[in-house]
Amino acid sequence: MRDNLIKYILGIADNSLILGQRLGELCGHGPNLETDIALTNISLDLLGQTRNYYQYIARLSGNNKTEDDIAFMRSEREYINVLLVEQPNDHFGYVIARQFYYDVFHYLLMQNLQNSSDETLAAIAKKGIKEVSYHLRFSSDWIKRLGDGTKESHQKIQEAIDDRWVYTNELFMKTEADELLINEGVGVNVLDFKEAYYQKVSQVLEEATLTVPDEKYYQKGGKEGIHSEHMGYILAELQYMQKSYPNLKW
């Protein structure tokens, strides 16, 4: 039970860690000051949630393991985040499309995780739902602004929406640990809100005068530790200090 619980939590936490790292790359590079600060704050929110999850995993693991060990000292194949969150920033439309696709899922997940029989997970979800609600409003508003904006902004956000669509289905692929924790009343059955997810996504895209992609081919692998070519570069930056100076104390 303990090992499966750890794997289940990692499946949630690694998404927040890697997306938070991606957003952190944008600090000082946003299209304007307000948006730059907003994206940085979302990154901090995600990293704060990640700390809560990793601290819980450290307690479950024992052996003096710390949140830093979990964040920085694993190999690439040991991270089980979905492929969506590791996709590069490219232009601003890609940043918003990736964020929007993940935010809709994350909000629905946090809504349901509040009912977990695991008190710690339920508490993390209850604390994080307010932040995730803001993230979803932010990305949804930008989808509409870009989609219903200029000809160029419409074209660029449609391009990003189309390209990142193939990563959405992996959000709903369940692992063996997921299945076991769902049966225990700890985990969330993501298939219960898959239809609601695509309805919400379609609603926002239509309001933004964007075309809902109809691509039926989807990418997967991240939940099994098989990542895109981008993951190694992300970890090289994320882990550099900890691996170069082990046990460094500020």
Provide the residue type at 30 as one letter.
Answer: G
Q: Which of the residue ranges 3-7, 24-28, 187-191, 207-211 would you say has the lowest mean pLDDT?
A: 24-28
What is d(CA 214, CA 195) in angstroms, rounded to the nearest whole number? 15
Given pLDDT bands bounded at 50, 70 and 90, which one contains residue 88? very high
pLDDT tens for 188-240 read 999 999 999 999 999 999 999 999 999 888 999 999 999 999 999 999 999 99
Specify if 250 maps to a domain.
no
187 phi/psi in degrees, rounded to 5: -90, 170
User: Residues, the chain, total?
Assistant: 250
Provide the residue type at 107 as one letter.
Answer: Y
Q: Name the one residue in this structure whose structure tokens are 């601003």.
A: 92
What is d(CA 40, CA 57) in angstroms, rounded to the nearest whole number? 26
- Beta carbons of 172 and 190 less than 8 angstroms apart: yes
pTM of the complete model beyond 0.75 = yes
Per-residue 3-state assignment (H helix, E strand, C coil) for the chain: CHHHHHHHHHHHHHHHHHHHHHHHCCCCCCCCHHHHHHHHHHHHHHHHHHHHHHHHHHHHHCCCCCHHHHHHCCCHHHCCCCHHHHCCCCCHHHHHHHHHHHHHHHHHHHHHHCCCCCHHHHHHHHHHHHHHHHHHHHHHHHHHHHHCCCHHHHHHHHHHHHHHHHHCHHHHCCCHHHHHHHHCCCCCCHHHHHHHHHHHHHHHHHHCCCCCCCCCCCCCCHHHCCCCCCHHHHHHHHHHHHHHCCCCCC
What CATH number is attached to the domain comprising 193?
A: 1.20.1260.10
pLDDT tens for 168-191 read 999 999 999 999 999 999 999 999
Could you tell me the two tokens for 206? Answer: 């239509």
Specify if 62 maps to a domain.
yes
Specify if 40 maps to a domain.
yes
Provide the residue type at 164 as one letter.
Answer: R
Look at residue 250 in the predicted model and tell me its pLDDT.
Answer: 54
Q: Which domain holds residue 178?
A: 2-244
Q: Name the one residue in this structure whose structure tokens are 């794997």.
A: 7
| Number of structural domains the chain divides into | 1
Specify if 12 maps to a domain.
yes
- Beta carbons of 147 and 205 less than 8 angstroms apart: yes
Of the candidates 92, 73, 95, 68, the one whose C-alpha atom is nearest the C-alpha of residue 84 is: 95
Look at residue 62 in the predicted model and tell me its pLDDT.
Answer: 83
Specify if 249 maps to a domain.
no
